[in-house]
Structure 1
Amino acid sequence: MTIIAVFNQKGGVGKTTTTANLAAAMAKNGLTPLAIDLDPQAHLTALSGLNPKVERTVYSFFNQQTPLSDLVTQLPNQVNLIPSHMELARVDMMLSQNRHDLRRLKKAMAEEMLSSSDTPVLIDCCPMLGVLSLSALMAADVVLVPVTAEYLAMNGAQQLDQTLKGLATKGLYRPRKVFINRYQRGHTTSEKVAHELTRRYGKDFCNTRVFESQSVLESVGQNKDVFSFAPDSEGAEDFSYLLDELIESGFIKVNM
C-alpha cells in the first residue's frame, strides 16, 4: 500500500478535509485506511469527533516512544485514526532536523509493518516546514498537494516543489500529484488557476476537480466526512472520482 503525505506550504487549502474524505472514500471501497493527524492544530482529530488525552495521541509517539499501533482509534466510518493534540507543537523544540530524528516516523512505521501492510496511510501535515512535515515527507511514498482556486495557494505549491527538489538531491525523491480544491465552475479566478496549474504541472495535475461544496462545509460542522453526512452529494462524488483517478494512474497502489 501507499503512504501519502497531504501537504501544501500554505494553510487553508483543504488538507484536512482532503485527508478525511479520501480516507472515507477508501473505507467505502472496502479498504481499511489509517489516517495520521500530524498537525498540532488537530483539525482532523476534531473533525473526527475526538478529544483525546495527550497520552493517547501521536505526541506520545514522539515524546514517550509509544508504538503507533497503540494510538490507533477506529472511527465509525471504518477509518483508523492516530489523533493529534496541541502539545504536538513542542516536537519542533524537542527534536532537531537531523536525519536520525526526521526518520523516526518512517522507521517506526516500517518496524510496526504499517508501511508494508495492506493498509493505505494518509498523513495530514501542518503547513509549516519543520520537523513534523519533514518527518511526514520522509515517511511518505508520495505527496498529494491540494491547491484551492486562488493565487496564493499556487505559491504554496511552488514552495513545496523546491522542498521536494531538495529532498530529491539527497536521494529522497517523492512523486507528487496536485489537484484543484474548492473549484467554482465559471468563476474567472478558478478558471485561471486551473489553466496555470495545468500548464505548470502537466501529467502531475489531476483531471478531477473538487468543487466548492456546501455538503463538504456542512459535514465539517457535524464532525463527519462527506460520505457519512451526504453520501449522494456532489462533494462525495468529487472525492470518489479523485480517489479513482489516483488509483487508476498508479499514484496510489491498493489491493482491492
Structure 2
Amino acid sequence: MTVVAVFNQKGGVGKTTTTANLAAAMAKNGLEPLVIDLDPQAHLTALSGLNPRADRTVYSFFQSGTALSELVHRLDNGVNLIPSHMELSRVDMMLTQNRHDLRRLKKAMSDEMLAEGATVLIDCCPMLGVLSLSALMAATCVLVPVTAEYLAMNGAQQLDQTLKGLTSRGLHRPKKVFINRYQRGHPTSEKVAQELKRRYGRDFCRTRVCESQSVLEGIGSNQDVFTFAPDSEGAEDFSYLLDELVETGFIRA
C-alpha cells in the first residue's frame, strides 16, 4: 500500500501538475491510481474537467461522513479522482488538530480499503492546517516538488521541520524531493539542483522535470501531458520520475 502526499509548504511549486501527470503516468502503466484533491482551490479538479457540487466532493466526507468510495469519479485517462470544492476551506473551522480529527481520513481509507492494490496520491494545499496534516497522517510517504528557485527550497525546509515533528511522535514519513521546472544550463536552476542534492542526498531524485510548454499548454486544455502531448519532453520527464520512484521502492507497483 502506497499513499503519497504531494506537499510543499510553498505555493506555486507544481504540486497539482505533479499529481495530475504522475497519476496519468501510473494509469498509462496500468497502476490504476486513486487521486484525492485535498486543496480547497480545487485546481486539480478543474484540471480534470470536473465541476461537481460540494456534496459530490471530498468536502462531503468531512462535512457529513459520506464514504470516500461514493465520491470517486473515473476520468477518461484511467485515473480515479475524489474531487475538491471551495467549501473544503471550511474544514479548518469545522475540525481541530487533535489526533481523532486528523486521523479521520486515514481511518476511512483503511476501513474502505481504498489503497489495497492501488497507489493513492493526495494533492495537498500549501497551508499547514487540518487538511494538510490529515494528508500527512494518511500518507505512507511524501513527495516534495521544488521549483528551481530559492524560495521553494525554503518551503521544503519548513516541511522538513513538520516531518521531524511527526517522526518524534512515532509517525515517520519517508520523503523524496525532486526539482521541477528545471532549466538546463540556467545558473539558478543549476545552483538550486546542487544545493538540493547536497542537502537531501539519497532523498533527492536524479530525475529533473524540466520547464515544459507541453505541460503548461496541457493545463490550459484541461489535459494531462500524456493526453495532450504524449511524445513531448514533459511526458518523458514524468515517465522517468515514475520509473525512479518505483525502482527505488518509494512507490510499490
| TM-score normalised over the length of structure 2 | 1.00
Shift, 1:114, TM fit = 1.1
Shift, 1:198, TM fit = 0.4
Alpha-carbon deviations, 1:175-218, whole Å to 9, x = none? 00000000001000000000000000000000000000000000
CA distance in 2, matches of 1:229, 1:52: 23
Shift, 1:59, TM fit = 0.1
CA distance in 2, matches of 1:85, 1:63: 12
Q: Which residue of 2 aligns with 1:220?
A: 219
Give the aligned residue type for 2:49: G
Q: Which residue of 1 aligns with 2:100?
A: 100
Shift, 1:158, TM fit = 0.1
Give the aligned residue type for 2:180: N
CA distance in 2, matches of 1:77, 1:251: 23
Give the aligned residue type for 1:178: V
Q: Which residue of 1 aligns with 2:74?
A: 74
CA distance in 2, matches of 1:30, 1:170: 36
Alpha-carbon deviations, 1:158-182, whole Å to 9, x = none? 0000000000000000000000000
Give the CA RMSD over aligned residues: 0.4
Alpha-carbon deviations, 1:89-112, whole Å to 9, x = none? 000000000000000000000000
Q: Which residue of 2 aligns with 1:84?
A: 84
| TM-score normalised over the length of structure 1 | 0.98
Shift, 1:55, TM fit = 0.3
SS of the residue aligned with 2:118? coil
Give the aligned residue type for 1:147: V
Matched, 1:162 2:161: yes
Give the aligned residue type for 2:241: L
Q: Which residue of 2 aligns with 1:207?
A: 206
CA distance in 1, matches of 2:148, 2:26: 25
SS of the residue aligned with 2:20? helix
Give the aligned residue type for 1:124: D
Q: Which residue of 2 aligns with 1:15?
A: 15
Matched, 1:134 2:133: yes
- Count how many residue pairs are aligned between Structure 1 and Structure 2: 253
Give the aligned residue type for 2:9: Q
Alpha-carbon deviations, 1:42-87, whole Å to 9, x = none? 0000000000000000000000100000000000001000000000
CA distance in 2, matches of 1:30, 1:193: 34
CA distance in 1, matches of 2:14, 2:25: 16
Shift, 1:31, TM fit = 1.3
Give the aligned residue type for 2:220: G
Extract unaligned runs of 5+ from structure 2. none
CA distance in 1, matches of 2:66, 2:118: 20
CA distance in 2, matches of 1:32, 1:207: 25
CA distance in 2, matches of 1:30, 1:90: 36
Alpha-carbon deviations, 1:103-159, whole Å to 9, x = none? 0000000000013x1110000000000000000000000000000000000000000
Q: Which residue of 2 aligns with 1:233?
A: 232
SS of the residue aligned with 1:11? coil
CA distance in 1, matches of 2:82, 2:150: 32
SS of the residue aligned with 1:78? coil
Shift, 1:27, TM fit = 0.2
Give the aligned residue type for 1:227: F
SS of the residue aligned with 2:205? strand
Extract unaligned runs of 5+ from structure 1. none
Runs of 4 or more consecutive aligned structure 1 residues displaced over 3 Å after TM superposition: none
